[in-house]
Homo-oligomer: A and B are copies of this chain.
């Protein structure tokens, strides 16, 4: 479970869209990049991936932008990390199956499962709620 910049930015973007989910207007890329110091063209790449997943919807032209197209209670950080992040490398000694390698693989899997269990509980809506409790800024209309 390696959290690359790509994954982090994807999560930031999804959270920003979740915050303005009830609002009607789409969110422009600029709004997100300005707020978080993310390189614009890089975020474009990432949003394309998110759109391909069906998680966001894009509106072109003036006043365009992006909108969340899924229920924020159903998407977790785990979903984003696994969809956007690089594929798990997989066991290198696959096929050899020495007792030691097999047992080690179990340990790595156990450790990864523990991580996944945490991230799988972190829904977008849950996190949005938390950040809005934390600081009292107003995002809702």
Binding site for B on A (CB under 8 A): 1-3, 5, 8, 11-12, 15-16, 35-37, 77, 92-93, 96, 98-101, 103-104, 107-108, 110-112, 114-119, 122, 127, 130-131, 134-135, 137
Contacts and interface: CB of A to CB of B under 8 A. Distances in A.
| A interface secondary structure, majority | helix
Nearest to A4: B89
Contact of A15 (B12, B100, B110): B100
Nearest to A76: B107
A33 to B, nearest CB: 12
Contacts of A112: 115
A116 to B, nearest CB: 8
* Number of copies of this chain that the complex holds: 2
Nearest to A95: B37
Contact of A115 (B1, B37, B127): B1
B111 A115 contact: yes
B118 A117 contact: no
A98 to B, nearest CB: 6
